[in-house]
A and B are shown apart, each in its own frame.
Chain A
């Protein structure tokens, strides 16, 4: 069964450093998402991306965050200057179409630890 692949599985970074989290969505999917889960809290929507543009973003997704699809396969989340509160599990997801009825496939996540 096709999978969404995320790398690395765990990243430790110093506060103020830039990090890039990588995702390879399912090849024929067109819609891409990032969610995050702070330890012990609920999974929260960050951003959705389609046709090389952000289609929706949450209030969490401020100027420190950016997303990009640099080539035909990767989908990245960049945090420009990490803060301690950015420590979380970050999940990438993809979908073949727009709308919840198409369903979502999630990756296994990247655990980001900011020290």
Chain B
């Protein structure tokens, strides 16, 4: 069964510092990978997605993620975080022929001055 692991429950980063949120997936086939952000009381906003091709994908709000098949990872990065980036971040996976999204448990990002 498909699964997603986000090993970091909570991360605190200083404003202006770089950020990397980890995501690992498990399954044999080529995955479709997503990162969503959820601000308090809000819905799920798509940051970026990977289906095929270039393994480094650019998203909105200055985020990027890199697909590494050898490590089964799809880590999210941002070179310089802003206070408005404080939110919950979810990695999700789906596979060809199966439209169901499987989410990770999320990483809560706190930004400090």
Contacts and interface: CB of A to CB of B under 8 A. Distances in A.
Interface string B66-103: 00000000000000000000000010101111111111
B32 A100 contact: yes
Interface string A94-112: 0100111101111111000
A99 B106 CA distance: 23
Contacts of B94: 100
A56 interface: yes
A31 interface: yes
Interface residues of A, number: 26
A43 B44 contact: yes
Interface residues of B, number: 25
A75 interface: no
Contact of A45 (B45, B49, B100): B100
A41 B95 contact: no
Interface in B21-39: 32, 34, 36
Contacts of A107: 43
A68 interface: no
Contact of B43 (A41, A44, A109): A109
B26 to A, nearest CB: 15
B95 A106 contact: no
A50 to B, nearest CB: 9
A61 B103 CA distance: 17
Contacts of A95: 99
Closest 6 CB pairs of A and B: A100-B94, A108-B43, A100-B32, A106-B44, A43-B103, A42-B105
Given A45-B101, A109-B44, 7 more contacts: A33-B99, A35-B101, A43-B92, A45-B100, A48-B99, A95-B99, A106-B46
